[in-house]
Amino acid sequence: MAELEGLEFGKSDFVLLDEVNMEQFMENLKLRFEKARIYTFIGEVVVSVNPYKQMDIYGKEAIDAYRGRELYENPPHLYAVADAAYKAMKRRAKDTCIVISGESGAGKTEASKYIMQYIAAITNPSQRAEVESVKNVLLKSNCVLEAFGNAKTNRNDNSSRFGKYMDINFNFNGDPTGGHINNYLLEKSRVVQQQGGERNFHSFYQLLRGGSEEMLGSLHLQNDPVNYVYTREGAASTTSNNDRSSHRAVLSALQVIGFSEEEIDSIYRILGTILILGNLQFETDSESVQVVGSEAVSHIAGLTTTEPDNVTKSLLYRTVATGGGEVIEKGHTEKEACFGRDAFAKALYERLFCWIVARINAVIEVKDYNPVLHGKNTVIGVLDIYGFEIFDNNSFEQFCINYCNEKLQQLFIELILRQEQDEYQREGITWRHIDYFNNQIIVDLVEQPHKGIISVLDEACLTVGKVTDTICLESMDAKLGQHPHYTSRKAILLIHIPQHFLSL
């Protein structure tokens, strides 16, 4: 067990508690936090408490202390987990995975970066140029993905608004040869609307506040976020991130990764298009709807290399297929045009983000690998999803990620609590049974076929005719109203928040 720290710092492994209950758990966690010990083991799991400040517990000296050591030879640390995963992969020639979970603001994104930095620091001792290049791109990809996938929320200045699973490939020597990034559930609704006091994605503010006059001029933009509907809400929000310096860092990272000047220009042209789109207004002229002003349409056409008439047509009309196979154009109402504009902006940003991820993957993927010549290729996976959060108005993406966190909690229960106690029972070991809340009932509430929340939403989407939020809510209440962990919000349909069990 990890007992290298004095007792004045509390128990460095919760397994060593005299009594396992919530009071002692929280008391020990509080004592360690007050003594600047933000990490504590639970067996092979590390519990981390975000200090919301820089701490001098990382860097080369700390890396050297944990390199090659067994898990309990040093005080609890992220580096201990990263080193254990690396050693397990190398010794057994088997893939390993590090799962980082917790509620929003817990420090998951920073933890994933420290893990990546540790793995980069302990590999490639011979300093081979091609391996160093792979490591550099893997590290720089974090900077780019944070800019386009993170945002300031009311709980976290740098909150990941997407899920990320990164595979790091290693050769038989244990040196990184490449990687692959999978992204999940980008919160694209944030592009057009944010909660009070929150910001849009960092990329917009970095461009507006950090872009040169020449760049902004070419994009027909001004350097004040308050001038744009999609960034106005967060324009006055204070944040610990410096948008100007972050913009320079992102440009540098894009170049290091291998984006061409033309590709970088295209990225910012799309951001400019989205910002101008948000300012478009519509008006009803007799029986038809028109775009107010033609200058913005011309700017969008120029940035997207299309004709102004085509831009106007796509904003004001939709194509409808008739029963006989004929395709006709139908004009939008003013409200429909606004919905279409916002849907277009969200789709543009999501496709831009996915393209950036795909472009990074094309650079870091393992190339020309032959197992016969190069030996077995193994992987360390790092899962970093955005955290559990309850807003006044939860987006569908947040509902999905809350559900994902419930599934991760269920995995934790299975691996740490249930299986461990089942093993004690099989081996006849005497122990005091630990009661815990099995959140399978919460998982079933969301995913159960024909009865769960997702099934109800599916049925509503497949129903012929106009299905309103109220009708969908009534359907949920009818099917789920008696469930002990379901609470209906009668006044207005919000994505439901089941009463849940949330891990630290």
Q: Are the C-beta atoms of 122 and 380 separated by less than 8 Å?
A: no
272: nearest Cα among 177, 206, 182, 370: 206
Q: Of 48, 123, 124, 160, which one is the catalytic site residue?
A: 160
Average pLDDT of span 413-440: 77
The pLDDT of residue 374: 59
Is 423 an annotated catalytic residue?
no
Average pLDDT of span 235-241: 80
Residue type (1 letter), 111: A
* pLDDT tens-digit readout, 350-390: 999 999 999 999 998 887 777 666 567 899 999 887 777 77
The rounded distance, in Å, linking the Cα atoms of 293 and 270 is 21
Is 159 an annotated catalytic residue?
yes
Q: Which of 64-73, 101-110, 230-239, 256-265 has the highest mean pLDDT?
A: 256-265
Is 109 an annotated catalytic residue?
yes
Q: Does position 498 have pLDDT exceeding 60, yes or no?
A: no
The pLDDT of residue 313: 92
- Dihedral (Cα; 111, 117, 119, 121), 10-degree rounding: -150
Residue type (1 letter), 376: K
Q: Does position 327 have pLDDT exceeding 90, yes or no?
A: no
Q: Of 389, 395, 405, 439, which one is the catalytic site residue?
A: 389
* pLDDT tens-digit readout, 40-97: 998 888 999 999 888 999 999 999 999 999 988 999 999 999 999 999 999 988 999 9
* pLDDT tens-digit readout, 331-341: 899 999 999 99
The pLDDT of residue 493: 39
The pLDDT of residue 353: 98
Residue spans of the domains in the chain: they are 274-349, 396-480
CATH classification code of 396-480: 1.20.58.530
Q: Of 12, 28, 74, 109, which one is the catalytic site residue?
A: 109
Collapse the DSSP code of 103 into the 3-class scheme (helix H, G, I; strand E, B; otherwise coil) and give the result.
Answer: strand
Is 393 an annotated catalytic residue?
no
pTM here is 0.85
DSSP type of residue 201? B
Average pLDDT of span 399-409: 83
- State how far Cα 33 lies from the chain centre: 26
Q: Does position 324 have pLDDT exceeding 80, yes or no?
A: no
- Here the tokens at position 265 are 């220009």
Burial class for 419, CB neighbours closer than 10 Å (0-12, 13-18, 19+): exposed
Distances (CA, A) of 242 to 109, 202, 248, 449, 458: 18, 10, 10, 47, 42
* pLDDT tens-digit readout, 114-145: 999 999 999 987 777 877 888 888 889 999 99
The pLDDT of residue 97: 92
Is 389 an annotated catalytic residue?
yes
* pLDDT tens-digit readout, 167-197: 999 988 888 888 999 998 899 999 999 988 8
Cα torsion angle, 238, 243, 249, 253, sign: positive
The pLDDT of residue 2: 47
Length of the chain: 504
The pLDDT of residue 504: 29
Query: 30 falls in which pLDDT band (50, 70, 90)?
Result: very high
Q: Write the DSSP assignment of 268-308 as a string of letters.
A: HHHHHHHHHHHT--EEEETTEEEES-SHHHHHHHHHHT--H
Is 427 an annotated catalytic residue?
no
Q: Where are the alpha helices (DSSP H) in 289-413?
A: 295-304, 308-316, 334-364, 371-374, 396-412
Q: Does position 1 have pLDDT exceeding 60, yes or no?
A: no
How confident is the prediction for the chain on average, in pLDDT?
A: 86
Q: Does position 238 have pLDDT exceeding 80, yes or no?
A: no
The pLDDT of residue 168: 92
Burial class for 58, CB neighbours closer than 10 Å (0-12, 13-18, 19+): middle
The rounded distance, in Å, linking the Cα atoms of 401 and 403 is 5
Q: Of 28, 101, 153, 156, which one is the catalytic site residue?
A: 156
Percentage of the residues of the chain whose pLDDT score is greater than 90:
48
What angle separates helix 453-462 from helix 440-447, to the nearest 10 degrees? 0
The pLDDT of residue 490: 58
The rounded distance, in Å, linking the Cα atoms of 67 and 122 is 7
Distances (CA, A) of 414 to 14, 206, 409, 422: 18, 43, 9, 10
181: nearest Cα among 351, 397, 359, 347: 359
Q: Does position 501 have pLDDT exceeding 60, yes or no?
A: no
In CATH terms, the fold of domain 274-349 is: Four Helix Bundle (Hemerythrin (Met), subunit A) (1.20.120)
